[in-house]
């Protein structure tokens, strides 16, 4: 946080911060960015699940757009909902442009247009259970179809209300509820499959441990006492 940011400014409600920015305290825009960056990043990442760099670029452009159109924020919805809408529209526009700019001729030789495998690459260094479970969950969310992934990110990850999510996505509340239910069902299935595959790597008995026990047993078997 910039040094001249007072605790009072950092804790002020969004509406007050917006009003002060409009009146010339533009440095307070940093307060809004730090307050809502994670929410906007998660919204952008729901559109670009395997490209965090693109998601970050989306958030940057969304903030620039929000700043230049801050006078248009009328307060009919929460600021976070307004910001999420800007972010998603920017992400969707980028996604459409990306699809138009990627003709088949530009694909690397020997590769087709199939989506990359959703199976996570085994990483033996991820030996902590919490880290492993987080990786499984994030991969499962990334694997959701965008229609369901975006609703899940806003409702379950960011804990936005059904009404806020519906407004952000131009959906009815019933549509949000239906998509969230479907997203959770798909996630349960995906997590179960991924967790089952991960279980095969738990308590691995290869490498140094295996060699050590084999050598110890062979050594004991070779000793004269082993024949008694």
pLDDT, tens only, 18-56? 999 999 999 999 999 999 999 999 999 999 998 989 999
What tokens appear for 76 in the block? 């009919």
Task: Give the confidence band of 137 by pLDDT, cuts at 50, 70, 90.
Answer: confident
Fold of 129-216: Arc Repressor Mutant, subunit A (1.10.10)
Please state, in angstroms and rounded to a whole number, the distance separating the CA atoms of residues 153 and 165.
10
List the CATH code of the domain at 7-106: 1.10.1740.10
pTM, 2 dp: 0.65
**What are the counts of helices (DSSP H) followed by strands (DSSP E) for the chain?**
10, 0
Task: Provide the CA 90 distance to its chain's centre, in angstroms.
Answer: 17
Higher-confidence residue of 110 and 226: namely 226
The residue among 165 and 208 whose pLDDT is bigger is 165
pLDDT per residue as tens digits for the range 58-81: 999 999 999 999 999 998 889 999
Determine which of 138-142, 146-150, 223-227 has the lowest per-residue pLDDT on average: 223-227
At 89, the pLDDT band (50, 70, 90 cuts) reads very high
Higher pLDDT, 130 or 103: 130
CB 162 within 8 A of CB 107: no
């Amino acid at each position: 946080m910039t040094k001249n940011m007072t605790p009072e400014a950092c804790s002020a409600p969004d509406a007050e911060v917006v009003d002060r920015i409009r009146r010339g305290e533009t440095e307070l825009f940093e307060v809004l960015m730090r307050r809502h960056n994670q929410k906007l990043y998660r919204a952008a990442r729901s559109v670009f699940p395997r490209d965090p760099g693109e998601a970050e670029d989306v958030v940057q452009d969304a903030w620039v757009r929000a700043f230049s159109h801050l006078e248009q924020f009328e307060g009919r919805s929460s600021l976070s909902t307004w910001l999420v809408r800007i972010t998603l529209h920017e992400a969707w526009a980028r996604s459409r442009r990306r699809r138009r700019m990627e003709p088949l001729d530009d694909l690397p030789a020997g590769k087709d247009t199939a989506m990359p495998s959703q199976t996570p690459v085994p990483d033996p260094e991820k030996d902590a259970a919490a880290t492993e479970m987080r990786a499984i969950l994030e991969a499962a969310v990334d694997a959701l179809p965008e229609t369901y992934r975006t609703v899940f990110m806003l409702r379950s990850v960011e804990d936005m209300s059904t009404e806020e999510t519906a407004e952000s996505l131009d959906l009815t509340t019933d549509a949000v509820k239906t998509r969230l239910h479907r997203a959770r069902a798909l996630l349960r299935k995906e997590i179960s499959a991924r967790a089952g595959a991960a279980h095969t790597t738990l308590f691995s008995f290869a490498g140094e441990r295996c060699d050590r026990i084999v050598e110890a047993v062979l050594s004991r078997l070779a000793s004269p006492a082993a024949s008694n």
